[in-house]
Structure formats: structure tokens, C-alpha cells
Structure 1
């Protein structure tokens, strides 16, 4: 019986300590410092007889009151900022509290487990991806061609592409004959039928029969194709890219074996301008045949 009472007492102390920790965690640091200084001032005035007991108490209470007022203003400002952030589409306003509540429950309910660690990792990943979206970028795995296809279907005026066929990226040419490459070419043909002007430059180490056949196929379909031997431009221009209507772009991040590991679609003006400069320099150095 005594052990049970002691156990309950220990549990109450743990809960009280946990409540104190949560209180401290949710209190503005400025308020905590202000309250601590107010208490220290009150004690100092009383111990040094610089003020009467009542005056020391009033000075401490006044400092604590000011600190709590500052804390209240800070909380109000944070709530106003949060409401401003959530002043958006209904799906954002309704979904954000649910996401935050779910992550918090996972971390608190399953503390110090793999679940809590994974919840934090996924939240951080979501934060990074959201920041990329805010910058106008979509980053997808190498086998996800959704943006490449979608932007080609949406193109209405002009489309520019740069494909590198080099010894280090020899697999890039076979990409055109893969399932993704064939779907992309079909989207190119549909764009040509809509009146879209397509210009494509192939950077190559060797003009093989396979590459020549691919180039002629695209030329006959109506694509303006240029050939650029490897070494004519600097290595920093060896980029696989596509530009649509001067408003959006796609860039492939490659592995050492020439495999696409990451697809980067962007409507960010800086990204579009950068890849436009890359394409223009390569196109200026390429050989086009009418």
C-alpha cells in the first residue's frame, strides 16, 4: 500500500515536472528573463534593506506584470502571423492543423522511438520540398516524367531542347527509345501538329549511325535539329534541358553512368534565364541543316 502511494506521488511529481517543462517551452524567452529578473530584484531589495518588504514585493510584482504583458503581446503577434499564413485556399487552412497535430502526436506519443525520428525526418523533408515549391521548382525522381510530358503537352509557341550524347552519358541516346523517350517523342509530334516550333541540339562525341538516324527522324517530323561536337563548348554547358515558351524549364541531373537521377522542373525566372543562356550558347555553336 505504501509502495502504491509512493508510486502515485512520484507519478504526480513527474506530471508536475512535465507540466512545468511544457509551460517553460511555450513561454516567450523574454517573459522568462523578465520574471526571473523581477524576482531577483525583489529579493535583492528586501535583503539589502534598500526598500521595505512591501515595496520590494510591489517592485517584483510590477516587473512580473510587465513581463507577462510582453509575453501576451508576443503570443498575440504569433497568432496573428499564423492566421496570416493560413489565409489561403480552403484545403490549406483545413489541412495544416491536421498535419501539425499528427506530427506532434507521433513525436510525443512515440517519443524516443523510430516512429518519432521518422516523423521528424518526413516533416523536414516536407519543409524542404515546400521551400522548393515556393521558389517555383518541382523536383522528382529520375523515373518520374510527369512534368516533362505535361509541360510539352501545354506548350503553345516554342520549345527548345539540349541533349548530350557523350561517352560518359552514352545511355542518353537509348533514352529516346525507352518507354519514356517514346512517349516524349509522341508529345513532341503532337506539339508540332499544334504549330509549336521545336529546336533541339544534340551534343555528341561521335556521330554514329544511330544518332544520325534519330536526327533525320526528328528533322523529317519538323524539328529544327543542330549538331554540336563535344569539346566545342565548355563542360559547364553539358546540360540536358528543355525550355517551353520561355516560361518554364526542365533539367536532368545525371549520374556518372549517364542515367537520369533527378528531374527538375521550374518556373523560377532565374532558372529559366540560366538554362536559356546555356541553350543559346550551344545553339550558336551548333551546325543546323535546313
Structure 2
């Protein structure tokens, strides 16, 4: 019985400590500092006889009251800001409480396990991707052509592109021969059929028969094709890019072996302006047939 009573008391103390931790965690730092200073002021006035006991108590209570009022105002501001954030598309309003609740449950119910660590990691990844979307950017793996092909299908007036063809062990034109390149070219052909003007510059190290054949095939299809030797421009212009209607763009981030490892689609004006400037610089230095 005594042991059980001691365990209950221990659990009670643990529960009290946890409640105190929760209270501190959910209290605004301004309120905590204000309350602490108010208590310190009251005790100091009383111990130094600078004020009577009643005056010291009133001074402390006044400080605590002001701190709590400030805390209440801060909480109200945060709640208003949260309501403003959730005043958006219906799918966002419905899903946000569910997502937040699931992550909190995972972190608290499985605290100290890999589940809690993974919950935090996934949340941080989601936050990073959300920030990219807010900036107008979508980043996908190198084999995901959804934005490259989709934006070409949506293009209404003009498309410009820059393709770097570098010698590789597996051949120069493997990207164009692969699934992504074929789908992209099919979208190009469809865009040409509906009247879209397409200009593409190939930056090359060697004008091989395979590259010459690809260039000729695109010219016959209606693409205005330019050729640019690799040494004619600065190395920082050796990028793969596309710009659609002057309003959206794509850049393929390449590995050291010349393989596209990451696709970045963007509608951010600075990105569109930067890639448009890169294309124009290369186009000015390129040679166009006819």
C-alpha cells in the first residue's frame, strides 16, 4: 500500500511538472518576463521597505495584470493572423487542421521514436516545398517531365529553348532519344501545328552526324534552330532552358556528367527574366540557317 501511495505521489508530481511545462510552453515569452519582473519588483519593494506590504502587493499585481493583458493581445493577434491565413481555398481550410492534428499526434504519441523524427522531417520538407510554391517555383526530379511537357502544351504564342549537347560516354543525344525527350518533342510538334513560334539554340562541343540530323529534323518541322559552339559563350550560360510566352520558364539542373537531375519550373518574374536573358545572349551568338 505504501509503495502504491508513493507511486501515485510520484505520478502526481510528474503530472504537475508536465502541466507546468505545458503552461510555460504555451505562454507568451513577454508575459513570462513581465510576470517574473512584477513578482521580483513586489518582493524587492517589500524587503527594502521602499513601500508598505500592501503597496508592494499592489505594484506586483499591477505588473502581472499588464503582462497578462499584453499576453492576451498577442494571442488575439496570432489567432487573427491564423484565421486570415485560413481564409483561402476550401481545400486548404478543410485540410490544414487535419494535417496539423496528425503531425502533433505523431510527435506527441510517438515522442522519442523514429516516427516523431520522421514527422518533423516530412513537415520541414513540406514547409520548404510550400515556400517554393509561394515563390512561384516547382522543383521535380530529373525524370519528371510534367511541367516541361505541360507548359509546352499550354503555350499560346512563342517558345524559346536552349539545349546543351555535351559529349558523354552513352552518346550526345540520349535525352532527346529517351521517353522525356520524345514526349517533349511531340508537344513541340503539336505547338507548331497550332501556330506557336519556336526558336531553339543548340550549344554543342562537336557537330556530330547525329546532332546534324536532329537539327535538320527540327528545322523541317518548323523550328527556327540556331547552332552555337561551346566555346563561343561563357560557361555559366551552359544551361538547358525553355521560356513560354515570356511568362513561365523551365531550367534543367545538370550533373557533372551532363545529365538532368532536377527540373525547375517557375513563373517568378526574376527567373523568367534571367533565363530569357541567357537565351538572348546565346541566340545573338548563334548561327541560324537561312
User: Displacement of 1:167 after TM fit?
Assistant: 2.9
- 2-side partners of 1:171 and 1:242: how far apart? 22
TM-score (norm 1): 0.97
- Is 2:44 the partner of 1:44? yes
Q: Deviations over 1:56-86 (max 9, x none)?
A: 1111111111111110011011111111111
Count residues in correspondence: 290
- 1-side partners of 2:45 and 2:150: how far apart? 73
Partner of 1:162: 162
Partner of 1:253: 253
Partner of 2:238: 238
TM-score (norm 2): 0.97
Partner of 1:181: 181
**Secondary structure, in 3 states, of the residue corresponding to 2:252?**
strand
- 1-side partners of 2:171 and 2:79: how far apart? 54
Q: Is the 8 A contact 1:248 1:267 kept in 2?
A: yes
- 1-side partners of 2:226 and 2:62: how far apart? 79
Summarize the alignment of residues 58-137 of structure 1 with structure 2, pairs less than 5 Å apart.
58-137=58-137
Partner of 2:273: 273
- 2-side partners of 1:226 and 1:3: how far apart? 87
Q: Is the 8 A contact 1:169 1:259 kept in 2?
A: no
- Runs of 4+ aligned structure 1 residues displaced above 2 Å come to 167-172
Structure 2 runs not aligned, ≥5 long: none
Structure 1 runs not aligned, ≥5 long: none
Give me the CA root mean square deviation. 1.2
Q: Deviations over 1:258-284 (max 9, x none)?
A: 111100000000000000000000001
